[in-house]
Chain A
Amino acid sequence: MEKLRETLKETWHFYMKTLNLVAKGSKAYYAWCLLLLAVIIVGFIYYLKQHDIGLFATNMNDQVSWGLYIANFTYLVGAAAAAVLLVIPSYIYHFKPIKEIVILGELFAASSIIMAILFVMVDLGRLDRFWHMIPFIGEMNFPESLLAWDVLALNGYFFLNILIPVYLLVKYYYRKDPNWTFILPFILISVPWAVGIHTVTAFLYNGLPARPFWNASILAPRFLASAFCSGPAIIILIFQIIRKVSAIKLEDSALFKIAELIAYAMFLNLFLLGSEIYKEYYSHSVHMAAFEYLFEGLHGHNLLVPWIWAAMAMNVIAFFIFLVPTMRKRLTTLNLGCLLIIVGVWIEKGPGFVIPGFVPDPLGEIHEYIPNLLELMVSFGIWALGLLIFTLLMKVAIPIVTGEFTHTEYEKEVTALKHG
């Protein structure tokens, strides 16, 4: 009885403290959260309109049947995969804040997966039939359909990326050592699983001979290479924000090492893209049309041309920034490089990858697509929701990692430390 009361008291304490942590913060924190909330609400209102009148409310059509939503989905799966893959180099190079990197990386991956899944859900014409996709309850076409694979892969990955950080955080909260024999297998499996989710997502496009632009065997490696650019670039920026607003110490050297890795990944990404461009242009078959549409314009249609060239320029500039040690070791140029990569890769593997798959369509029709206001607003809403989830997770996770937020038993210690 006594023990039960103790547990209840502790749970109550935990929730109150969590609420307290989430609800209290600096002015910048409030402003940030309110801004995100506003964007989420606007996005949701636009989504309700889409839900009401159907996908007719978007600019998609029978020619270009996937658009901005699926582009964002593809990008976010990559970001989620890369965040966890960062765990490997941090082990190899013995980065000091390894436990922080694992926890932050996995929570970032979990937030990205939530966004990725939401982008698929808003893209579904019949959200009310979503349950048809759930294993055992619905009628999943497994293993035939790659989309069924993706549902399993993404949800499995989401589960791993919630389980691992929550387990570790609970242990830290109680100031106990994690039981590594229990959790290490999950951490180890999350690494190949990260490669898996992005491979499955690449295969989803890859396996369609109807779309020559996607039907290239180089696609999965290209996806992984570009994910290894954008994911770590996002993480570098997040780490800098975190060390500014919290007690977590992250050394510059770790950031510079990640930047060096980005340089290699970007080299690989540009090399793979170059190989594809060579193959298409030198063989010069009918299948080159989509590449022509993307890079030069086709029969006077050239909506994507300025975008892709901007992306190319951003990627190449960022590559040189991260290649030259003096540039990647200065925070201003480092951050500029990160921003260029985040945007450049988004264009390249988002709209620059999804849309040319549909232009020209299998019967040769050229129909240009540009997302409309509704698609933009819904997309911003989902991004804002993902960022808000990540912010709130960080708000609770960081104090646990630094030992400020802990079991009642140790609380006095913390206060004593603070005053002493």
Chain B
Amino acid sequence: MRDKNYTRREFIRNLSLTAIAGMSIPLLSACTKEEVEDFLQKHFLEMTEEEKKRLIAKLEERYHQKYGRKFQISTKEAQQDTLWGYGLELSRCIGCRRCVYACVKENNQSRYKRQLHWIRVLQLKRGNLINLENSEHYYNPDTVPEKGYIYLPVQCQQCQNPPCVKVCPVHATWQEPDGIVVVDYNWCVGCRYCIAACPYKGRVFNWGEPNIPPEELNTSVHYLGNRPRMKCAVEKCTFCIQRVRSGRYPACVEACPTGTRKFGNLLDPKSEIRYIIENKRVFRLKEDLNTESKFYYFFEG
């Protein structure tokens, strides 16, 4: 992306866009300044520090106008020598879905007219694990866990070899140096090829304008993570990029009442996740697809 052609490409782009803009002055004059700015916004990785700063200031201002809340938008980069990994102890999960709703709240997902969830908990009859066709996604008993069932929470598995990144036609999604797969929501064209490519259903789409009551918004956000999003762009779990890059656990890990969820740095030999991988019987979902996911399921013992 940042290759030798950078300046030439930049030049061609500016020239063409100016030409297009010039030809469509009557059309553009019908648009608001905001719409024009959005239309011309560059790919996040191609912005200079200065441009990023301006963008963040503009966004904070805009969110303030739209929701009446003061946002803090971080663009904090990956820390050195980190590669995030996740552990999930299947024998502990009781299927309460607290993680699901903690995630919705933390990450500003749309609440109604398509409620979006980044985590899905599957209910499986004991004796089943691989054939997910027998799973129940919408189980709704008065109390969990139900006898005879186990629960399998699934979210983006942060593959080291992510099929979704490979298929994106416009580089709108990529893997960060700390292993997190992120989306530039302003660059996504909404083709949904990544949704087709993901073997874990780790991506969801804002089919319409996201709906969140302003008072429920989480105002501490990351540009590549939980900032409020727009219609018709794709989104996904980022291991709570806004939290983990400032030394906190992902919201799902904190919300879990049973200690099912573990999180840590795969490059740190003393981390809990490394201990789990080395001492427990871990497995990864759909290992046969060679996605090299960084989401390890395990059982006690």
Contact = CB atoms under 8 A, between A and B. Distances in A.
Given A136-B9, A140-B169, A54 B206 contact: yes
Contact of A363 (B13, B201, B231): B201
B113 to A, nearest CB: 7
Interface in A336-380: 357-358, 360-366
A277 interface: no
B167 A124 contact: no
A217 interface: no
Interface stretch (B48-56, B69-77, B192-200, B245-253): B192-200
Q: How large is the interface on B (under 10, 10 to 19, 20 to 34, 35 or more residues)?
A: 35 or more
B170 A141 contact: yes
Nearest to B202: A362
Interface residues of A, number: 53
A219 to B, nearest CB: 14
Contacts of B135: 363-365
A126 B172 CA distance: 13
A339 to B, nearest CB: 32
Given A144-B166, A145-B166, A210-B196, A289 B133 contact: yes
Given A209-B199, A211-B196, A357-B196, A151 B154 contact: no
Given A62-B201, A62-B205, A129 B134 contact: no
A197 to B, nearest CB: 16
A98 B181 CA distance: 54
A210 B171 contact: no
B170 A125 contact: no
Contact of B171 (A124, A141, A209, A364): A141
Contact of A139 (B17, B122, B170): B170
Interface in A180-229: 204, 207-211
B170 A138 contact: yes
Contacts of B191: 120, 123-125, 147
B28 interface: no
B30 interface: no
A167 interface: no
Interface in A43-68: 53-58, 60-62, 65-66
Nearest to A209: B289
A126 B189 contact: yes
A133 B169 contact: yes
B163 interface: yes
B232 interface: yes
A146 B199 CA distance: 17
B231 A125 contact: yes
A361 B201 contact: yes
Nearest to A292: B133
A286 interface: yes
B105 interface: no
Interface string B100-141: 000000000000011000001010000000111111010000
B200 A56 contact: no
A297 to B, nearest CB: 13
Nearest to B197: A208
A211 B167 CA distance: 14
Interface in B154-190: 154, 163, 166-172, 187-190
13 contacts: A56-B113, A60-B207, A61-B207, A62-B201, A123-B191, A123-B192, A125-B191, A138-B13, A139-B1, A141-B168, A144-B166, A208-B167, A363-B122
Given A140-B171, A209-B199, 20 more contacts: A54-B206, A55-B232, A56-B208, A60-B207, A125-B205, A125-B232, A128-B39, A129-B188, A130-B189, A133-B189, A141-B171, A145-B168, A145-B193, A147-B191, A210-B199, A360-B132, A363-B135, A363-B137, A364-B133, A365-B135
Closest 6 pairs (CB-CB, A-B)? A125-B190, A125-B232, A56-B208, A364-B132, A210-B199, A147-B169
